[in-house]
Structure formats: structure tokens, C-alpha cells
Amino acid sequence: MNRKTVNDYRILLFFTAFIWLLEIANLIFDHQLNQFALQPRQVSALPGIVTMHFLHWNLFHIISNSIPLLILGFFVCSVGKGIKVTISIMLISGALVWLFARNGLHAGASGLVMGYWGYLISNAVFDRSLKNIFFAILTIAFYGGIVFSLIDFREHVSFEGHIFGFLAGVMSAWIWRDKANHR
């Protein structure tokens, strides 16, 4: 295992711990930090493109995001592009939610989870290495049912975050593909 991959694992763990520290602070302050969630098409809410991924509505929300965030994030780090992929998914999905989502506050790491899911599957298509195919198969085996969150249109669910997270994952797989294999 190379040094960069180890650093990516550490950053993933730090990222998840930071989300939990924010949630604890949010609980103490009666979720007042959620004012920094993403409000589509509000210029003052542009920082929400990044902050939305760190904020959650309640303990159930953060717990349901944390486990797949760690597992799928571990898979993304294992294919060697953890930080680049995480940042691109956060920025692309956040920007798409800001541009196209329905009005209301959008928060949660589920867009990043869906981005990891889309990335891992698409990465096996764009860069057909044995390792990428292996992680795509693991992703589908462990989280194949997550596809249904793309059509979860309940009022309190940001299906836009899920859909745009998935699309950001596919786009990230294309952006960060091994271009040497495609000449």
C-alpha cells in the first residue's frame, strides 16, 4: 500500500470524524448550524455547495450516511483517487443542487455517498482494470439497493442530492480516468 493511499484513508477518517463533531455541536445548538446548508439559487448560500455535505438533520440521518460513507469511501481510496474524487463529487454535486434543486435547505453526506457509488461503478467502465472491476462488484454486492434512493421522492429527502451526487460520481470517474489507457 502506497503512502498516498494511506493518507487518503486518514483523510476519509478525519472527514467522517469532523462530520460527527459538527453533528455533536449541532445537537448542542439545536441544529442552528443547519442554516449553512445549501439553499438553491441563493447567492448568499453558495458556501453551502461545500458545507451541505458536512451537515445533517438528526442522528438517524448522520448514522445512515456514515456507514456507507466509510465503506464506499474506503473503496474509492483503495482504487487510488480518494481526495481528488471526494472533492470533485462534493463540488459538482453541490453546484448541480444549487443550480437545479427545488427550494428548501439541502444537507447531508448522502450526495457524496451516491457519488462514491456512481464513481466506483463507472470507474470500472472507464478504466477496466481488475482492481476497478473488483471494487465495482463489491460496491454492487454491498450497496446495489442504493439505486432506489435515486427515485426516493419523499418531501424530506433531497432526491436531487442523490441524483446529482450519482452524476457527479460518474463525471468524476470520467474526469479522473487513466487517460493513458484511452489513447
Over the stretch 69-111, which tens digit does the pLDDT of each residue have? 999 999 999 998 999 999 999 999 999 999 999 999 999 999 9
Q: Residues 34, 77: contact at Cβ < 8 Å?
A: no
Would 81 be classed as within a structural domain? yes
Would 183 be classed as within a structural domain? no
pLDDT at 180: 62
pLDDT at 181: 60
pLDDT bin (cut points 50, 70, 90) of residue 137 is very high
Q: How many Å separate Cα 27 from the centre of its chain?
A: 22
CATH number of the CATH domain containing 126: 1.20.1540.10
pLDDT at 32: 96
The CA-atom distances, in angstroms, between 131 and each of 11, 62, 65, 146 are 22, 30, 25, 22
Would 146 be classed as within a structural domain? yes
Would 18 be classed as within a structural domain? yes
Would 33 be classed as within a structural domain? yes
Domain that holds residue 130: 3-178
pLDDT at 182: 53
Tell me what the mean pLDDT of segment 32-60 comes to.
Answer: 96
153-169: pLDDT as tens digits:
777 778 899 999 999 99
Would 117 be classed as within a structural domain? yes
pLDDT bin (cut points 50, 70, 90) of residue 148 is confident
Would 80 be classed as within a structural domain? yes
Number of domains in the chain: 1
pLDDT at 37: 96
Tell me what the mean pLDDT of segment 52-67 comes to.
Answer: 96
Would 52 be classed as within a structural domain? yes
Predicted TM-score (pTM) of the model is 0.94
